[in-house]
Amino acid sequence: MRSLQADCFTQTLRNADCRNFAQLSFSAIFPDTSHRDLRDPAVRDGLSKDYMASIEGRGPRQVIKALGYSAQGLRAAFRFESSFRLEVYLLLVLAPLALYLGADAVERVLLLGSLLLVLAVELLNGAVEAIVDKTTPEYHELAGRSKDMGSAAVFLCMVNVVATWSLILLPRYLGYS
């Protein structure tokens, strides 16, 4: 299945005089940037100077704004993602157990870190699913595949939790260490 962008590019090639193919191909793919200077590496590589990294200093105000955006993301995930809510509830139960059962700081970090990794990957999975749902409301094989891969990543993190907790706690309580 051809994309609309590829069809527009092909149509532009049919209708154009191809003396300056580089300029033609760039303007056909990125029509809104045809007025920009192609000698500028940021423009030539398809990047807009508007989206380049900011050169402004980072101070406490920007850090506080970033924390606010992170809190918004956590609230949205908790509100709209039932699996994220379930994993937060499991964290609330298992985090005190991890602090209590861990023999030293390394064990506590591993037990807690494996739980937090599940939440982080679940946030990424939710973000991927939201973008896929927004961009492709009808079923598409690639959309389904990307959602399945995100789900598989969360599953692997949960396997990591079980493996980490088992390898740390089972030998101690079964008398192997």
The whole-angstrom separation of Cα 73 and Cα 136 is 22
The whole-angstrom separation of Cα 106 and Cα 112 is 10
The whole-angstrom separation of Cα 50 and Cα 61 is 21
By annotation, the residues acting in catalysis are: 122
Residues 6+ apart with CB under 8 A from 91: 115, 116, 119
Is 74 buried (19+), middle (13-18) or exposed (0-12) by CB count in 10 A? middle
